[in-house]
């Protein structure tokens, strides 16, 4: 996929992929409850059973307040000022299920919602809201054995700076000191960083639940900053993969292998990424086919048979997207790869777009297929 259509996919991340149903909507149910991502003790923002979001911001001296969430071509959600100095408003329609970034514009200035927790996206810490998904059980915090997510700081001679990554180790890693594990290197999208997959994506909870149900082989997940934000949005075609490829392949992987109990051969190493992280995955796996044995592009383009021809054959190619993205292209790509003799799997997330529920579901589908 060329940079231009890939860049079009990334745009949805910036506007929080606030997709509405186009059908006529029923009356709004007044059963709003605080979002699960609110700061302690904060009643707003709120979400109702239909997926509408309601906001309440105190700004008594402001002349205008607008929330970016609820764009849908209508300029966001415009709030109305009350006599008490609070501005209140409800999205014009129900939101897609799952996580959404948003911000608040007050008299032309961009701020975060003081009631919501913040998540790194769009190259800044943004407010976050969760629209409960009907299938949210697979990433829920349950009473099962849990792994750990730990921060590591590793040296990087190529950049001249220490760098950070987060490593998920599965339940039981600390108990059996003789056991070694495969590793998935999992990349975030443009505007995000190494915190995205744990905070917004719940990758650790997804894995804990899969392992508890004996649906996935235990493995490590390494999440690091992909240097995606070194290029401005709209100039994705100018992005050069070589600096990050050096950090990942020549610096981070050796550090992880030296400091964790890993299986260090190609067949026990995977790389996947969402959005621009998928673009990075494609570039690096094609450049370094002897390093990774499993590939995953989550709303991040596709592989064609000619991309892989003549290179060390991957053990799995996983390609996914939301049903509101380009599902036909994903399905066709997997079909073409299968016809060419590759083990390829496609997945389409129902009723989602370029957003984290698509990627949570994609990880949930991909993980059981890894390291077979």
The pLDDT-based confidence of 74 (bands split at 50, 70, 90) is low
Compute the distance between CA of residue 60 and CA of residue 327 in angstroms, rounded to an integer: 46
- My answer on whether 128 and 149 are in the same domain is no
- My answer on whether 128 and 148 are in the same domain is no
**Of the candidates 132, 148, 170, which is a domain's last residue?**
132
Distances (CA, A) of 305 to 1, 75, 138, 348: 13, 42, 33, 20
Q: In CATH, what number is assigned to the domain containing residue 87?
A: 2.60.40.10
Q: What is the pLDDT of residues 271-325, one digit of tens each?
A: 999 999 999 999 999 999 999 999 999 999 999 999 999 999 999 999 999 999 9
Q: What is the pLDDT of residues 90-142, one digit of tens each?
A: 999 999 999 999 999 999 999 999 999 999 998 999 999 999 999 999 999 99
The pLDDT-based confidence of 153 (bands split at 50, 70, 90) is very high
* Contact status, residue 289 vs residue 312, Cβ threshold 8 Å: yes
Determine the structural domain holding residue 63 and report its residue range.
Answer: 33-132
Compute the distance between CA of residue 289 and CA of residue 281 in angstroms, rounded to an integer: 11
Q: Is the pLDDT of residue 68 over 80?
A: yes
- My answer on whether 249 and 359 are in the same domain is yes
Q: Phi/psi zone of residue 61: left (φ > 0), alpha (ψ -120 to 50 degrees), beta? A: alpha
* Contact status, residue 154 vs residue 251, Cβ threshold 8 Å: yes
- My answer on whether 315 and 274 are in the same domain is yes
Q: What is the DSSP letter of 342?
A: -
- My answer on whether 115 and 264 are in the same domain is no
- My answer on whether 122 and 191 are in the same domain is no
Residue 54: per-residue pLDDT? 97
- My answer on whether 108 and 200 are in the same domain is no
Phi, psi of 357 (to 5 degrees): -65, -35
* Contact status, residue 316 vs residue 273, Cβ threshold 8 Å: no
Q: Which tokens belong to 40?
A: 């302690």
- My answer on whether 69 and 173 are in the same domain is no
> Cα 157 to the chain's mean position, in Å?
28
**Of the candidates 132, 157, 178, which is a domain's last residue?**
132
On whether the pTM is more than 0.85, the answer is: yes
Residue 26: per-residue pLDDT? 83
**Domain count along the chain:** 2
- My answer on whether 282 and 174 are in the same domain is yes
Q: How many CA atoms, within 13 angstroms, populate the side-chain half-sphere of residue 23?
A: 3
Q: In CATH, what number is assigned to the domain containing residue 178?
A: 3.40.50.1820
- My answer on whether 124 and 153 are in the same domain is no
Q: Count of CB atoms within 10 A of residue 329's CB?
A: 16
């Amino acid at each position: 996929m060329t940079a231009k259509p890939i860049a079009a996919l990334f745009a949805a991340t910036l506007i929080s992929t606030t997709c509405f149903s186009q059908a006529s909507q029923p009356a709004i149910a007044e059963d709003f409850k605080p979002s699960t991502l609110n700061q302690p003790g904060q009643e707003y923002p709120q979400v109702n059973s239909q997926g509408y979001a309601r906001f309440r911001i105190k700004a008594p001296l402001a002349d205008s307040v607008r929330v970016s969430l609820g764009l849908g071509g209508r300029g966001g959600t415009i709030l109305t000022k009350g006599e008490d100095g609070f501005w209140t408003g409800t999205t014009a329609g129900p939101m897609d299920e799952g996580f959404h970034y948003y911000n608040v514009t007050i008299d032309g200035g961009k701020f975060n919602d003081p009631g919501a927790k913040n998540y790194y996206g769009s190259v800044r810490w943004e407010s976050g809201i969760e629209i409960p998904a009907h299938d949210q059980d697979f990433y829920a915090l349950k009473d099962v054995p849990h792994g750990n997510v730990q921060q590591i700081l590793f040296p990087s001679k190529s950049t001249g700076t220490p760098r950070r990554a987060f490593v998920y180790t599965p339940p039981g890693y600390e108990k059996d000191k003789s056991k070694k594990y495969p590793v998935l290197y999992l990349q975030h999208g443009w505007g995000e960083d190494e915190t995205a997959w744990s905070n917004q994506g719940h990758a650790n909870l997804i894995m804990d639940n899969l392992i508890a149900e004996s649906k996935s082989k235990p493995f490590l997940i390494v999440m690091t900053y992909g240097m995606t934000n070194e290029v401005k949005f709209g100039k994705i075609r100018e992005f050069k993969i070589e600096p990050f490829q050096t950090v990942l392949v020549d610096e981070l992987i050796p550090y992880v292998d030296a400091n964790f109990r890993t299986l260090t051969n190609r067949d026990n190493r995977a790389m996947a990424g969402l959005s621009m992280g998928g673009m990075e995955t494609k570039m690096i796996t094609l450049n370094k086919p002897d390093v990774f044995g499993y590939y995953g592009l989550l709303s991040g383009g596709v592989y064609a048979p000619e991309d892989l021809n003549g290179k060390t054959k991957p053990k799995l190619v996983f390609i996914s997207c939301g049903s509101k993205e380009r599902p036909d292209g994903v399905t066709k790509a997997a079909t073409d790869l299968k016809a060419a003799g590759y083990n390829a799997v496609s997945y389409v997330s129902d009723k989602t777009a370029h957003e984290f529920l698509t990627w949570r579901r994609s990880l949930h589908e991909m993980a059981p297929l890894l390291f077979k």
